[in-house]
Amino acid sequence: YLDVDIAHAGMDQRKIHMLVREIFPKMKWKVPVSVHHKLLPGLKKQGGEEFGGEFNKMSKSDPNSGIFIHNTDNEIKKKINKAWCDEGVIENNPILAIAETIIFHEFNEINFERPEKYGGNVSYSNYKDLENDFEKGKIHPGDLKQTVGNYLVKVISPIREKLNLSEEISEAIKKSF
C-alpha cells in the first residue's frame, strides 16, 4: 500500500481500480481517486503471431516500448527513431498516435523541415491532414519520426526539468520498472 491519493493509469487498469474501490474500504485503507487515460500503442510492431495478434501498448515493464518522463532528450529521439512506423500504415502506428494525442494537443501546427528534393517544408494544423498525407506517402516515415521526436522533446523536456529529477532519482525511477 503506497498511501497514494491518485492512481493514474491507462484505460486497461479500470477493472482493478473498481475492485480497489470495493475492497479497500473493507480493509480500512484509503481509496485513491482513479484517473484513466487513452492507451498509446507501443513503439514496437503491432499484432501478428509473434505478438499474440494483440494491441501492444507502451509498458513500464518494457523500457523500449515507450517514452517516459525520465528519458533524456537523446533517449526520446533514439526511441522514436527505432520505433515501428511502416510507410503509409496508419493503423496502430505509434508515431502517428503520439502526433495526434500529444503533439497536436500542445501545438497548433506541426512543421516538417525537409530539403526541396524531398518535397520541401510542409506544415499541418490538424491531425487528419497529416494522417492522410502519411497514408498517401507524401510524408516519409523518417521525416515523421524526426519531426515528432523533436516536438515530443519540446513537450517532455520542460516537464522533466520542472520536476528537477536528479540522476539519483532518475536511476531510482528506472529501477522501479
Q: What is the pLDDT of residues 97-129, one digit of tens each?
A: 999 999 999 999 999 999 999 889 999 999 999
C-beta of residue 75 within 8 angstroms of C-beta of residue 43: no
Q: Can you read off the three cell numbers belonging to residue 146? A: 524526426
Q: What is the pLDDT of residue 59?
A: 59
> 11 is in which domain, residue-wise?
1-37
The residue ranking higher by pLDDT, 12 or 122, is 122
Residues 156 and 70 in one domain: yes
Residue 175: pLDDT over 80: no
Residues 83 and 143 in one domain: yes
Which pairs with CB-CB distance under 8 Å and at least 24 residues apart come from 114-123?
A: 114/143, 118/143
How does pLDDT run across 132-174, given as a tens digit for each residue? 999 999 999 999 999 999 999 999 999 888 877 666 666 666 6
How does pLDDT run across 61-73, given as a tens digit for each residue? 666 778 888 889 9
> How many domains is the chain built from?
2
- 86 CB-near residues (< 8 Å, 6+ apart): 93, 141
Can you give the pTM of this predicted structure? 0.75
Q: What is the pLDDT of residue 81?
A: 96
Q: How confident is the model at residue 46 (pLDDT cuts 50, 70, 90)?
A: low
Residues 18 and 52 in one domain: no
